[in-house]
Structure 1
């Protein structure tokens, strides 16, 4: 059985969460692509699943082009693998920072 203090604390927390959620200003839509461009590819892949808005931005042709330009001027390493079911092989893709060689 919950004590009166615990119930009161739960009620206060719930009330705080209800009122504070709407008090934050949303991120301006024109800043979201700039923020997304600073993320790693793996994170962008996850963000596609977060919202339709993020997926739309990330899949946009202009976003991809500007992301590739940024990646070329500020390269990051990326390694990923997948199983090719047709040829029954594991396929690896990787990129690397050309300055480290």
Structure 2
């Protein structure tokens, strides 16, 4: 059985979380692509599942171009997509160790 102190602490924590969630300023939309470009390709692939906004940015043609340019200058990852009549669109991410080149 939960003690009164534990119940009160749980109530205070849940109240704090409920009121503090909206107090953080969101990341400006124009900075999100720049932040995403700095992520490792495997993390970037996971971010597709986090939100529709991130998925839209990552699948954007301009984002893919700029990420590809970054991949050429810092060879560690590569991203590409192709259209498929059955599955609509697929995104592939590859990473490799530049020490093997």
Runs of 4+ with >3 A deviation: 77-101
* RMSD over equivalenced CA pairs, Å: 5.2
The answer (yes or no) to whether the contact 1:36–1:44 under 8 Å persists in 2 is yes
Q: Distance in 2 between matches of 1:64 and 1:88?
A: 17
Corresponding residue pairs, total: 101
The answer for unaligned runs of 5 or more in structure 2 is none
Say whether the 8 Å CA contact 2:71–2:77 is kept in structure 1: no
Structure 1: runs of 5 or more not aligned: none
Q: Secondary structure at the match of 1:22?
A: helix
Tell me the CA shift for residue 74 of structure 1. 1.1
| More deviation, 55-64/36-45 | 36-45
Q: Tell me: higher relative CO, structure 1 or 2? Use CA pairs within 8 A at least 6 residues apart.
A: 2
Residue matched to 1:51: 51
Aligned pair in 2 of structure 1 residues 73, 99: CA closer, same or farther (>3 Å)? farther
TM-score, normalization by structure 2: 0.77
